[in-house]
Amino acid sequence: MLKHQETSIPQHRKVYEILRSHITGGVFGEGDFLPSENELCTVHHVTRPTVRKALDRLTNEGYIVRHQGKGSIVKGSPKGVGILSMTGTTSAIGQDNLTTTIIIKPEIRTWNNAFNFPLTKSEIESGCVYIERLRLVNGKPVFYDITMIPNVNLPRFTSRNFENKSLFDILRKHYHVEVRGGEQQLLAIVADEKMKGYFNVGQGHPILQLNRKIETNRAGFYIYSQVFCNTDEYVLYGTF
């Protein structure tokens, strides 16, 4: 048997990625049984502890539930992994009805802080890529977000098209940047003049505000994001 050539990506991670893509891609639907651990072993040419490590992660992230004696059942793509616990607004809603309007195209800016989160000297010196977007669910503006990303080692980033695409998917696919976790602040505010225009709401309308500092697999590389939500029709939903 061959050790692990190619890329040095761990086997359990490969198996995880494959199964994950099969779940999100619809190969396995909600309620379906995954192949048994032993079957997955033979298919992917690994042993059971390796398969189990992949399944452990899928379980932790809410993609599957396992039952002793029965098997692993697909729970579906964890909807709430969206805005409240992991990635971005795209996965929070489900890509179907979400459209995006770019208000400020990605541009290089200088910065001194990011939504109350302090920056390192290195981050300040690098400058940032600044983006403002308005996200519409079924044509109704629901999210208005500002994203700031340190301008380091992201070739051709500002020239990419972000319409109707998940920022995190782009970072994942093209730059191998993966979201690891992060911290966030939540608060309720009233809409200011700008918000009133974007969301088409009246005076004193309540708005949900999130300030987020998002960790990635690149050491010291954080993404900063501020999201304003009109929760009139669409509340934020999450699992934990």
77: contact with DNA by CB under 7 A: no
If one asks whether residue 34 binds DNA (CB under 7 A), the answer comes out as: yes
Shortest Cβ distance from residue 140 to DNA (Å)?
Answer: 42
Query: How near is the Cβ of 173 to DNA at its closest, in Å?
Result: 21
102 vs 190 by CB, closer to a second copy? 190
Q: How far is CA 29 from CA 19, 26, 123, 163, 234, in A?
A: 12, 6, 42, 28, 25
The residue type of 40 is L
Question: Out of a second copy, DNA, none, which partner does residue 10 contact, by CB within 5 to 8 A per kind?
Answer: DNA
* 71 in contact with DNA (CB under 7 A): yes
Q: Which residues bind a second copy (CB under 8 A)?
A: 49, 56, 60, 62, 80, 84-86, 181-190, 204, 206-208, 229, 231, 235-240
Tell me: does residue 55 bind DNA (CB under 7 A).
yes
Under the binding rule (CB under 7 A), the answer on residue 11 touching DNA is yes
Give me the least distance between CB of 203 and DNA, in Å please: 53
C-beta separation of 194 from 115 below 8 A: no
**DSSP codes, 153-214:** S-TT-TTS--TTS-HHHHHHHHH---EEEEEEEEEEEE--HHHHHHHT--TT-EEEEEEEEE
Coil vs helix vs strand at 17: helix
User: Rounded CA gap, 235 and 240, in Å?
Assistant: 16
Binding site for DNA (CB under 7 A): 1, 4, 8, 10-13, 34, 36-39, 45-50, 52, 55, 66-72
